A and B are shown apart, each in its own frame.
Chain A
Amino acid sequence: MRPDSHEIFGRRRSRNIGLGLVLGAFVLLVFAVTMVKLSEGQSMQGFDHTLRPSLLPPAEE
């Protein structure tokens, strides 16, 4: 019996593969959502401790 063929290694491998697939799917999901939000024209900027005129509401006439 090979040392790495024990049942424990099988379970550990299933955990590693499962977690890898979940993380990969999450990266794809965030990428897809980002593309959708950008293509819909949503603002991707946020407050970062300085005044950013592009985030101010448009001035009334």
Chain B
Amino acid sequence: MSDTDWTLAARAHEPAFGDYIELLKPRVMRLVVFTAFVGMVCAPVAVHPVIGLASILCIAVGAGAAGALNMWQDWDIDAVMRRTAARPIPSGRVERGEALAIGLTLAAFAVVMLALFANPFAAGLLAFTIFFYAVVYSIWLKRATPQNIVIGGAAGAFPPMIGWAVATGGIAPESVLMFLLIFVWTPPHFWALALFRNDDYRRAGVPMLPVTAGDRVTRNHILAYSLVLAPIAIAPAFTAIGGPVYLAGAVVLDALLLVGAARLWRRDPDSASRDRFLAEKRFFGLSIVYLFLLFALLLAEAALGAAGLTPAGWPVLV
């Protein structure tokens, strides 16, 4: 082997630190950190800021580990999809085995540290979440069924429950509602993406709903799930974590979501391709803002509660 060959070989397997960070899916991690933080802050038990910071970091690292394991499993799918072809493994910057090792190590590390920093129950939930995303969703469901995103969505829905468990050491109706909110939000969010990335998923052989059941059925599903999601988003308003500010915001956001879903339902592949899936892309963007703002409203209610500004006669049903 000449010096040049050695140099080329070394270049191919010499990842920068940022490549490893990318392996942890930092964009997904942001949503996980935010929802876990809201779950922790909304809980009725105060958490010391240092313990809270340490716990959120553990949850973030656990989510990152699950992301690395997902990239290890999905390297072949990622390589043929335009959206994911530049990820560290398909682009050749990180080896597959490295992703597996980093994923397993960080997963074990995050779970053990969360047990020590917070409590074993929160750590158990984190372990189950990582298992659910890496094994149940990535390895089992994703390539097997068009319901992949429906069941797999649970993995993304657990972080607020983990945040809540960090504070209380258990589960409550409020934390289950936060779980349900993300769980029912996930399918229409990803099906909107799948509508305008259908070619990608078809080429990769991933049985997303538009690939297996077609455009019409997917649009029906998006509308149906949005109709189910709307009352679930309202429900927290009448629990200990909600209030009038949350209710007002949730009603407006629900209206925007339902209008967007109805607009998608009225369209067909012809009208969608004429404006390059503009409405579908807008709905996808709206769904991200929708979830972010709902959790921001819960955070606002927690801040108002801490400042003693919660109205006295507000009905709390649970």
Q: How far is the CA of A13 from the CA of B11 in the complex (A)?
A: 14
Q: Which positions 79-126 of chain B face chain A at CB distance < 8 Å?
A: 117
Q: How far is the CA of A37 from the CA of B48 in the complex (A)?
A: 10
Asked if B14 contacts A14 (CB within 8 A), the reply is no
Main secondary structure of the interface of B (DSSP, over half): helix
| A60 at the B interface (CB under 8 A) | no
Most chain A CB atoms below 10 A, which of B11, B17, B117: B17
| B1 at the A interface (CB under 8 A) | no
Q: Which positions 1-51 of chain A face chain B at CB distance < 8 Å?
A: 6-8, 10-12, 14-15, 17-19, 29, 32-33, 35-37, 40
Report which B residues bind A (CB closer than 8 A). Answer: 7, 10-11, 14-18, 20-21, 48, 50-51, 53-54, 57, 117
Residues of B within 8 A of A35 (CB): 50
Asked if B17 contacts A8 (CB within 8 A), the reply is no
Asked if A18 contacts B17 (CB within 8 A), the reply is yes
Asked if B16 contacts A14 (CB within 8 A), the reply is yes
Asked if A33 contacts B117 (CB within 8 A), the reply is yes
Q: How far is the CA of A59 from the CA of B165 in the complex (A)?
A: 31
Min CB distance, B259 to chain A, in Å? Answer: 45
3 pairs of A and B residues whose beta carbons are closest in the complex: A18-B17, A11-B16, A14-B17
Asked if A33 contacts B51 (CB within 8 A), the reply is yes
B50 partner, pick from A15, A18, A19, A36, beta carbons under 8 A = A36
Main secondary structure of the interface of A (DSSP, over half): helix
Q: How far is the CA of A58 from the CA of B171 in the complex (A)?
A: 29
Min CB distance, B107 to chain A, in Å? Answer: 16
Q: How far is the CA of A31 from the CA of B51 in the complex (A)?
A: 11
Min CB distance, A54 to chain B, in Å? Answer: 20
Asked if A17 contacts B51 (CB within 8 A), the reply is no
Residues of B within 8 A of A12 (CB): 14
Given A18-B20, A40-B48, 11 other A-B residues pairs in contact with their CB atoms under 8 A = A11-B15, A12-B14, A14-B16, A14-B17, A18-B18, A18-B21, A29-B54, A29-B57, A33-B50, A33-B117, A36-B51
Asked if A14 contacts B18 (CB within 8 A), the reply is yes
Q: How far is the CA of A29 from the CA of B114 in the complex (A)?
A: 12
Min CB distance, A33 to chain B, in Å? Answer: 5
Residues of B within 8 A of A14 (CB): 16-18
Asked if A8 contacts B11 (CB within 8 A), the reply is yes
